[in-house]
Amino acid sequence: MADPVIKLIIPARNEEGAIGKVVTSVINQVDGAIVADNGSTDETAKVASNAGAKVVSVPIPGYGRACQAAVKMAGHHDILVFMDGDASDDPADLPRLLQPILSGEADMVIGSRILGDCDPGALTVQQRFGNTLACWLMHLFWGHRFTDLGPFRAITRESYERLNMQAPTYGWTVEMQVRALKKGLSCREVPVHYRARIGVSKISGTIRGVILAGVYIIGTIFREAALSLQSQLRNVVRVKGCSVLQNGEKIP
Ligand SMILES: Nc1nc2c(ncn2[C@@H]2O[C@H](COP(=O)(O)OP(=O)(O)OP(=O)(O)O)[C@@H](O)[C@H]2O)c(=O)[nH]1
Ligand SMILES: [Mg+2]
């Protein structure tokens, strides 16, 4: 891909201590950064804007909602990069993340914290367990081995649009990976460095956050598996030339 327009999407909820550093550390490597201020009650929006990001306000909390709203605001782009706003992702890894897309080898690249190195305490035991389980289920259902659901990732615009992303909250990352597999996209992982976040942990370090994230992530995988099964059954019915009624309409 020659000279692509790269837009960076950063969901952020109460990240005033980190978001300025995140934006300034990466803004020169992309063609624009969009921070989705997800109902913050602190100065996240102001700090992000001062650092050079475009800010979109998304009042209802939800990781997926924030990402989707920011993508809508991104304007023209060829590649989307997603990164957390708590300074846990390392901008030095961006070239490595983009390389397989730029060379035409991949449609989507996930930054794997498991293949890379994590600072002490950056990736909790609960996160590692949840990611391993989710990746195992993806392999079981769709036959592809991911090692992580890392938030630092890149995808071509065309591929992103094919995924019709829906997950409003924590299911966002796994939904993107599962739907990429279902659409037959070329998926890669590259090792990334994961740092301890700036500011107070909201998800992985809290019992409520871990349970909620786990339920949404695993629930998303089973929902996607059920949808796959449903469409396979429909195909079988079609191939057999049966005529069945669905929602009151006849499928020839
Ligand atoms: N918790 C939370 N984070 C959100 C939300 N919307 C956007 N975010 C941002 O999404 C990114 C990931 O959330 P984190 O709180 O870092 O989640 P995590 O990395 O699993 O866990 P911790 O870093 O330990 O809190 C951060 O940039 C958040 O600010 C939301 O509704 N809730
Ligand atoms: Mg975090």
pLDDT tens across 143-168, in order? 999 999 999 999 999 999 999 999 99
Separation of CA 195 and ligand 2 centre (Å) = 9
Question: Could you tell me where the beta strands, DSSP code E, fall in 16-107?
Answer: 33-37, 54-57, 79-82
Burial of 72 (0-12, 13-18, 19+ CB in 10 A): exposed
Is the CB of residue 202 below 6 angstroms from any atom belonging to ligand 1? yes
Mutate which of 55, 203, 206 for ligand 1? The one with the most ligand atoms within 8 Å of its CB, which is 203
| pLDDT over 90 (residue 52) | yes
**pLDDT band at residue 44, thresholds of 50, 70 and 90?**
very high
Q: What is the pLDDT of residue 70?
A: 97
Q: What is the pLDDT of residue 197?
A: 95
| pLDDT over 80 (residue 252) | no
Domains within the chain, CATH numbers bracketed: 6-240 (3.90.550.10)
Separation of CA 158 and ligand 1 centre (Å) = 26
Residue minimizing CA distance to atom 9 of ligand 1: 12
Note the ligand closest to the C-alpha atom of 200: 1
Strands 54-57 and 6-12, bridge-based pairing: unpaired
Is the CB of residue 89 below 6 angstroms from any atom belonging to ligand 1? no
Shortest-distance atom of ligand 1 to CA 84: 27
Query: What does the block give as tokens for 103?
Result: 């060379």
Note the ligand closest to the C-alpha atom of 60: 1
**Three-class SS of residue 181?**
helix
Is the CB of residue 205 below 6 angstroms from any atom belonging to ligand 1? yes
3-state helix, strand, coil in the chain (%, to 5): 45, 15, 40
Q: What is the pLDDT of residue 228?
A: 86
What is the C-alpha to C-alpha distance for residues 146 and 115, in angstroms, rounded to an integer? 10
Is the CB of residue 66 below 6 angstroms from any atom belonging to ligand 1? yes
What is the C-alpha to C-alpha distance for residues 81 and 93, in angstroms, rounded to an integer? 12
Residue type, 137: L
Neighbours of ion ligand 2 (CB under 5 A): 86, 88, 197
Shortest-distance atom of ligand 1 to CA 197: 23
| pLDDT over 60 (residue 246) | no
Residue 67, CB half-sphere, CA atoms under 13 Å: how many? 26
Please write down the HEC assignment for all residues of 64-85: HHHHHHHHHHCCCCCEEEECCC
Average the pLDDT over 65-79 and give the result: 96
| pLDDT over 70 (residue 242) | no
Q: What is the pLDDT of residue 247?
A: 57
106 vs 247, residue with greater confidence: 106
The tens digit of pLDDT for each residue in 166-209 reads 999 999 999 999 999 999 999 999 999 999 999 988 888 888 98
Looking at residue 183, the DSSP 8-state letter turns out to be T
Handedness of CA 119, 188, 157, 68 (dihedral sign): negative
| pLDDT over 90 (residue 66) | yes
| pLDDT over 80 (residue 140) | yes
| pLDDT over 80 (residue 251) | no
Output the average pLDDT for the chain: 93
Q: What is the pLDDT of residue 234?
A: 85
What is the C-alpha to C-alpha distance for residues 235 and 252, in angstroms, rounded to an integer? 11
What is the C-alpha to C-alpha distance for residues 196 and 67, in angstroms, rounded to an integer? 22
Is the CB of residue 203 below 6 angstroms from any atom belonging to ligand 1? yes
